[in-house]
Structure 1
Amino acid sequence: MPSPAPTGAAPVPDDRKPPRKPPGKPPHARGANGRIGPGARARSRGPRARAPRPDLDDAVVLYGWHPVAEALRNGKRTIHRLLATENAARRLAEELPGIAASPQIVRPGEIDALLAPDAVHQGLYAEAEPLEGYDLDTLPDDALVLALDQITDPHNVGAIVRTAAAFGVTAILTTARHSPAATGVLAKSASGGLEHVPFVVVKNLGDALDRLGERGFLRVGLDSEGEETFESLAARRPALLVLGAEGKGLRARTRSLCDAVARLDMAGAIKSLNVSNAAAIALYALTRRL
């Protein structure tokens, strides 16, 4: 039999019992820096709005003044749901009297809950049907088309859409894969341009360029090392301007299917531009030749 512990000695700990963990901070507690934790931040926005309707899986999400206002002006766009803060609804009534859709008045936090944390919605949110556009066979004979070769950044594509609307582009050709959907961030960056320039979505870009070439489209690739300049280009309609992704540029097959590969001559030390900026300059140069 083991001898008892000496008088005054600390009791031997019982290894069968796990040590108690100190109670953690509740999600709303303030840390040492005085900031409120994520739980309180979410609750401070008020009641969360319900999620997008499950029967509208293909719905286009639009937010911000210009994307939503242009959609409301577009008689071909079907709006299923329109949320607006009191201030945004007042502005809609002043600037777009007689619109068909009636907004549901909500607090800003209810729109925040439906979007990414950094989304700037300006008090407007809409869910709408995608617009019907062209396919390869229905593009008009005098069309000016932009083709995007695996440009995946929605901010860049949105800026390109906005530029395309400014230059009267007929449609934007893109692929089902390796391209962002025409919704959300892209729509916000397009600033209403989606209402004026439809997308033609194809499975294979090379095959689409081949078919458009058979239809008589002049296919012009944009590349910093192109053999021609836009000033020397014998431009005509229908025309197709092909843009490659930043870094990779035009893929080999895409480049081989272009009738001409043109460059933008620049006098500065840097010879390349962000793809959305390059698209704007190239469209300006091409439309002057057309």
Structure 2
Amino acid sequence: MTPATTHTIDVPGAVLTYDVRPGSDADKTPLVMVASPMAAAGFTTLAGHFTDRTVVTYDPRQSERSKLTTDAHPTPQTHADDIHRVIQAAVGPGPVDVLASSGGAVNMLAFVAAHPDVVRTLVAHEPPLVSALPDRKTALAAIHDVRDTYERDGLGPGMAKFLALIMHSGEIPADWTDRPAPDPTQFGLPAEDDGSREDPMLGRDHIVNTTIYEPDYAAITAAPTRIVPAYGIESDGLITQRATIRVADALGVEPTRFPSDHGGFLGGEYGQTGNPDSFAARLREVLDA
């Protein structure tokens, strides 16, 4: 496998770091892998399955190697503009194929609406679009409660509420925010507040701005991009799976099932292991369809 080359690019409000892994077949469409707030490191194993393609990954502006130069809270449109600049710098105007996971899938839906001629196929893997859910009112209240808890009490209490929420199967009950707060230590999290508020998931309103975003479904449908909403077979009933189905309905397409769960492509990155071999095989099958 050809080693990745690392680059930086100045964008409004940030300096982004991205990696390019040259592929062995110049005729293959480049493959871009994006997530948010997860950084490029999370795609290390998956990228290794696509050595025939040039693979581009990057760190979102609030994550790891990328640095903010403004206090503004980024939105999916902000990230979409960042990704567009990275793609242009890395491989030119396109076309590209994209695997976008979690918040990255939300950002790429904004991307396709704004830049309809760049992406050939977008696999939108488990976008956490609470805005699309039938129980959006209670779910969004729960999201705001996570953010407020983090701002008030710190990472442990905020992240404990976040984990409890994303692990809940089915619609969010009306009394969710009135229930006793989960103990951070049961998730291996600190109960004490260290004063930091720079967590890439819970800080800078990332969790709110990502989940409340409402895609321009008309613009996305009008684009030539083939959209493949996808969810893991182990995610049934979870917010991300339910949102994926609603996005597919809004776009008039069928959702596609992938192996494993929300982190199915992970091969030990961040201490998590999904089923990356099967995930990669399914992704190749979908992209080559």
* TM range, smaller chain: under 0.3
Normalised TM-score (structure 1): 0.27
